[in-house]
Amino acid sequence: MNFAEIIEAERIILKQPEPSFELAKEIFAAIEESRENLEPWLPWCKKTTKAEDSFGFLKDWCEKNRTEKTGYAYLIHDKTTGKYLGCIDFMKVSDTDKSGEIGYWIRTSAQGKGYMSEALAALEKEVFGQGINRIYIGNDTRNIRSVNVAKRAGYHLDGVLRQNRWDDYSQSFVDSNVWSKLKEEYK
């Protein structure tokens, strides 16, 4: 599989990142703006305390996984302004099983405008077009915004994993939803 480096949608562009410290500062600024909304759901957020941490994501996660063909990060940018809005990843890619997981987040100032639904639809088109058979999304059952993205996009709730992970933020075990969409269900 050879996923596109740039995916265009109506209002946004998804780009696989090229690591740079300037880009890391832009990502970190979006995380800082959104920290209150991200920390309850994304454990990596608490560990991202400076732009160097965002640079580590670009260099260590994005570049490494793309090279190994096990994960592809796409930065979401407003098509008109070029503003960085968030990130959507296709990860845990299995060439054998033709499957992978999608994870996503969007900066607080861009929430509620349909950008994530648009990004998800654009990424689905790309990955199903590359021969992927099953996409899945995992999210905390309490993360209503993420749950609503999966529902609006027509994902099937496969089930709830009860107390499947420890959450440092709430200091408790939490439940996770597992959603999926099959290529045959893609419009």
Which of 144, 175, 142, 181 has its CA nearest to residue 160?
Answer: 175
The model's pLDDT over 100-114, given as tens digits with 9 standing for 90+, comes to 999 999 999 999 999
Q: What CATH number labels 6-185?
A: 3.40.630.30
Residue type present at position 185: E
Q: C-alpha distances in angstroms, 142 versus 49, 67, 117, 147?
A: 25, 34, 19, 8
The model's pLDDT over 43-71, given as tens digits with 9 standing for 90+, comes to 999 999 999 999 999 999 999 999 999 99
Beta bridge partners of 166: 173
Q: CB count, 10 Å around CB of 6?
A: 10
Q: Report whether pLDDT(83) > 80.
A: yes
At residue 2 the predicted structure's pLDDT band, cuts being 50, 70 and 90, is confident
> Is 144 strand, coil or helix?
helix
Query: Tokens 């596109």 belong to which residue?
Result: 4
CA dist 185 and 178 (Å) reads: 16
Q: Which helix (H) or strand (E) holds 68?
A: helix 64-68
The pLDDT of residue 88 = 98
pTM of the model: 0.95
The model's pLDDT over 109-152, given as tens digits with 9 standing for 90+, comes to 999 999 999 999 999 999 999 999 999 999 999 999 999 999 99
The pLDDT of residue 187 = 77
CA dist 75 and 131 (Å) reads: 22
